[in-house]
Amino acid sequence: MRLFNFLRRAPIDPEPVSMLVSGPDGREADMFSTEDTTRLHQLFETPRERRDDCWRSAFFTACWNASVFLSEPAYFHGPDGLPYFRLNLPQPGMRFEAHCLAGLASNCLAANAGVAFFRDAADPIDCSQWVISMGDIDSLLRFGDANGDPVDAAEIASAASNLRLGRMGSANQGASEEPHSVLVGSPSREFLPPHTARALHRLMNSWGEPDPRVALVVDSQLRPSRNLVIGRKRSQFPDEKAAQFESTRVAWMVPLHRGFMLMPEDWRVREMTRLSDLF
- Give the DSSP letter string of 135-162: HHHHHHHHHSSTT--HHHHHHHHHHHHH
Q: Answer yes or no: is pLDDT of 172 > 90.
A: no
Predicted pLDDT at 169: 34
Q: Confidence class of residue 79 from pLDDT cuts 50, 70 and 90?
A: confident
162 vs 104: which has the higher pLDDT? 104
Q: Across the chain, what does the average pLDDT equal?
A: 88
pLDDT in tens, 12-42: 777 765 444 433 433 445 789 999 999 999 9
Q: Confidence class of residue 244 from pLDDT cuts 50, 70 and 90?
A: very high
Q: pTM of the full predicted structure?
A: 0.85
- Residues 128-133 have a mean pLDDT of 98
Q: Answer yes or no: is pLDDT of 103 > 90.
A: yes
What is the DSSP annotation of 219-249?
ETTSSSSEEEEEEEEGGGSSSHHHHHHHHHH
Predicted pLDDT at 4: 39
CB 140 within 8 A of CB 64: yes
Q: Answer yes or no: is pLDDT of 163 > 80.
A: no
Predicted pLDDT at 28: 47
Q: What percentage of the chain has pLDDT greater than the value 70?
A: 85
Q: Answer yes or no: is pLDDT of 96 > 80.
A: yes
Q: Confidence class of residue 74 from pLDDT cuts 50, 70 and 90?
A: very high
Predicted pLDDT at 22: 38
CA distance 100 to 85: 12
Q: Answer yes or no: is pLDDT of 126 > 80.
A: yes
Contacts of 77 (CB under 8 A, 6+ apart): 11, 13, 83, 84
Predicted pLDDT at 12: 79
